Amino acid sequence: MAYYETERLILREWQESDMAPFIALNQDPDVMRFLIVYNEQETISITKEFMQHFARYGYTIYACVLKSNGQFIGFVGLWHRFDMPFSPCVEIGWRLEKKYWGQGLAFEAATKCLEIGFLEFDLDEIVSFSSKINIQSKRVMQKIGMIYNEGEDFYHYKLARDDPLSLHVLYRIGRLDWIARLGRDNK
């Protein structure tokens, strides 16, 4: 079973007990305000895809739980994408319950996932993207050292171009840049 720890979190494979809180998370209007909302069946389906991804690649979008009490609070992890203009790629993504926003938890878990991707799985590059108006996610991308290039903005294929969420930003970080940043942060 995949199991990673940070100071305050555990990233692990999905369990049946994660389904109810994950369904609720995907239907929370505040959490999903910049995302495409998933209903119950879609949430169950995507969770199965996470598990299949893990079986194929050895990493996935992990269930994220508090180390202090084991409570499920969302997800963070790595995911192969083949459906974007810049594909194929490995995306880092996160989604946490609103009451855990602003505590550095997404940063903490995403930092661990970069370490997993670059050190354990030898990935060359990891990307992240979000609606251009999603300031919180862009802030996490910047904090973990990802680089933005305005020329790589794109319209999400699942949204109409006039949808306010359609225009997306793309952030990237390569293994060598991550290693260099890690060295600077440890000085």
- The pLDDT, as a whole number, for residue 173 is 98
**113-116, long-range: CB < 8 A, 24+ apart:** 113/11, 113/62, 113/76, 113/77, 113/78, 114/144, 114/145, 114/173, 114/178, 116/4, 116/59, 116/78
Euclidean distance between CA atoms 113 and 16, whole angstroms: 23
- The pLDDT, as a whole number, for residue 184 is 67
Instruction: Cis check for the bond before 88: say yes or no (omega within 30 of 0).
Output: yes
Q: Which helix (H) or strand (E) holds 103?
A: none
- The pLDDT, as a whole number, for residue 136 is 94
Cβ proximity of 131 and 161 under 8 Å: no
- The pLDDT, as a whole number, for residue 187 is 53
CATH, domain range 3-185: 3.40.630.30
The segments of the chain whose pLDDT lies below 70 read 1, 184-187
- The pLDDT, as a whole number, for residue 96 is 96
Euclidean distance between CA atoms 62 and 118, whole angstroms: 16
